[in-house]
Structure 1
């Protein structure tokens, strides 16, 4: 096959023919890099919000940091619900059944948008009580509740983004979601400037002093800016999927959007264990926030900043995990189980290498990064200390992340979900509470590093000895 012909091949064509090892590695890297960029852009939005709000002081940072765990809980439920449909699409495209794949796409929009609206309603109803429940101090609970309400009201817009991006990735199009998510970061900066700060005078080169009109919403403006950026990106992402995708564009044929029992049943079988696991893990993160909250405003702010910065290290792992889900899912759909195992080994090795390098960079440059995030010296030093502890856990954390992506692509969700849930609740929380009594926030992060390392070893054992390859029957 000529190089030009290979360039025109679809992902399903590639997994249905014999591939050399170099082609498999090249395909893994090619699919991973745009997804890594998409994941980094996602965490960059949190970084942007934290840095821009951080300029308002430690209390403003703590107002957002207090609500991060509940936000991850509700957004995480929406993200994991997508897997039930996207895994089906990956398997069908791998089996070259594009007509049925488009049927699943149509039904996914109806089911998941209704689901997102329901989750948004529940979250908004809880907004006023959650900051108090989490132990926030009186001076931050009002801003925390308002930030959370705005963010959760926009959850259907986030879901549109999650769903359309996942379907594009399953079709092998990793580049477009990555580019659009980078665009979302740019929009986030623009909208944050509009919503967060007061009207002010800016001295621009060549133009001189210019008055910039802004809404002056402060903490609440960060949520409004992120919601606006996510909404615009989600609409554009959905347009490209439904109108421009070679395999999944819905205008190719006519079909009903009415959900069917067969498709929904399969989606529930795949996504329920993942969603239940996400709920329990996010609940554990809320408990972790409750452990951190009594340590004071400085600890809450440092914890929030450290989580945001550490995410820069592990988001590449999630990007490679996305690629693993796509490659494994389509290989299984093509009944190429030998190729499935090879892609599992390649993605796992690649993810571990990338996150080991990222962990090393985090250890070295943590002080410089924190200097950008906040002017508060006490917050900066505490965040640097805990980040350097976490750096040692990044390689095994990569095994857990990519290993989970491999299992999801294979349709193996129950036992991996138990591993994630059990590790978090049975190992991390008890250790975090106990160590926090003597070592404060540092003890909480020691517990996190130990638990993530153990979780990585459990996933390594699952992939080595477990029966993780499933077929969609």
Structure 2
């Protein structure tokens, strides 16, 4: 089960115009989704582990990460947007069996994103010191927050090229290597954190006392552990994509630094709306953080941990979304729009079913999910209440996630990005600002649940309208 050969056979059927049965479509969705879901969950587990390790240091340590977390998501999102502008084009070319153009797009992507991430890193480092103050953080958490953000910023270049390589591999149909690298990244993060966060200390192993060395860096140690994990796995992803991938390998290609403007323009059509969306969405998250900040460190910590815990439930949606982008992109590249529509419907409904189940799990086990990350009872109680409010919105959140990925595979990003922004800014933030003074942190999460339900409804309307199929590259 989940064999690479079976994936390749079914993907080849798309490229060669062969008819596919319902079972074959479902098998291909599952074959591509499972590794991607595992990768998404592993990535979130890394944040979960960071939060748990830092949470053991107390609410102030958790708050120092929480105050800048939405900003790190912003810059991480911009790197993803830059990568997807190129990888979606590659999916279309691979679907058309034009591997030479797919490799040309990859080369252009490597050069363009390398330049982009140098600019992004410079901006990050410049704002690292005042950022926690801008976001309303207290003097007791600003120092650690600045250190955490600075270290994260310096890891962006290798993270960007690793994300591009991972995204290219996924759009070629190879979900396994990115998934394995995500698992390795999580394991490395645990190991690095274990030695960097804590002081040298005695540890009992099967009744034997051992002295474990530690750097005692606290919050900055968590950032450094994550950065090192990014670096190791990023280099491995770059090597595999450029050397070992049958569709993307550049080892025998003639390298040219001359811009190929058609590819860059097409990348901009995808990446600019996505980048603007990430900026505005993360800006909205930052505003949300500013709404939560006056509620105190307990609320900041509970909000941060609840967001991390909830991500375990919605990441399966993103995993299925990765499969949707690949399948829709290759189907459109092969000129098979009806097949693209079939894959779109199947992936969206599968995502809604999986996340409905995950929402039930989140509702039942909310106290345990928060409790793993913090010993503070006040934080645990407030975070659990927030998760249980959000659980009801998970199916419609899935509809928004997977339908957006469907649109991305078709090269349709402007209208979906606008939909995301309008929903976030006009509904969530407005309601959150109104509810927070009345209901505290629970009010912020009530606003989130209402907004996600509305957003999912809008995306389902977009899906069934079929307007996303009219997009594409020229």
**TM-score category, normalised to shorter length:** over 0.9
**Contact 1:70 1:286 (C-alpha < 8 Å) held by counterparts:** yes
Aligned-partner Cα distance in 2 for 1:117–1:49: 26
1:12–1:330 Cα contact (<8 Å) kept: no
Superimposed CA distance per residue, residues 289-318 of structure 1 (whole angstroms, 9 cap, x where no aligned partner)? 000000000000000000000000111101
Q: 2:191 matched to which residue of 1?
A: 190
TM-score, length of structure 2 as denominator length: 0.97
After TM superposition, the score normalised by the length of structure 1 is 0.97
Q: Is the 8 A contact 1:110 1:259 kept in 2?
A: no
Cα distance in 2 for residues equivalent to 1:241 and 1:143: 36
Instruction: Tell me how far apart the structure 2 counterparts of residues 163 and 366 of structure 1 sit (CA, whole Å).
Output: 35
1:136 is matched with: 137
Given that 1:103 and 1:255 are in contact with CA atoms closer than 8 Å, whether structure 2 keeps it comes out as no
The alignment partner of 1:214 has SS state of strand
- How much does 1:214 deviate? 1.2
1:86 aligns with 2:56: no
1:307-346 to 2 correspondences below 5 Å: 307-346=307-346
8 Å CA contact 2:393–2:453 kept in 1: the answer is yes
Secondary structure (helix, strand or coil) at the match of 1:66 reads helix
- What is the root-mean-square deviation of aligned Cα atoms in Å? 1.4
Partner of 1:22: 23
Q: How far does the alpha carbon of each residue in 1:225-270 deviate from its partner, in whole angstroms, 9 at most, with x for none?
A: 0000011001111111111111111124324243321111110011
Distance 1:257 1:463 in 2: 39
Task: Indicate conservation of the 8 Å contact 2:42/2:186, yes or no.
Answer: yes
Structure 2 SS opposite 1:67: helix
Report the counterpart of residue 206 of structure 2 in structure 1: 205
Q: Structure 1, residues 121-178: CA drift from partner, whole Å, max 9, x if none?
A: 1011101111001111110011101111111111112112211110000110011111
SS of corresponding position for 1:248: coil
Please state whether the residue corresponding to 1:335 is helix, strand or coil.
Answer: coil
* Separation in 1, partners of 2:167, 2:7: 23
Tell me how far apart the structure 1 counterparts of residues 23 and 467 of structure 2 sit (CA, whole Å).
27
Asked whether the 8 Å contact 2:10–2:24 carries over to 1, the reply is no
Q: 1:335-374 to 2 correspondence within 5 Å?
A: 335-374=335-374
Measure, in 1, the Cα distance between the counterparts of 2:392 and 2:411. Answer: 31
Q: Which residue does 1:248 correspond to in 2?
A: 248
Q: Does the C-alpha gap of structure 1 residues 28 and 260 become closer, same or farther in structure 2, counting only changes over 3 Å?
A: same
Deviation at 1:12, TM superposition (A): 4.1
1:388-438 deviation digits (Å, cap 9, x = unpaired) = 000000000000000000000001111000000110001010100100010
CA separation of 1:257 and 1:101: change in aligned 2, threshold 3 A: farther
| Runs of 4+ residues over 6 Å off in structure 1 | none
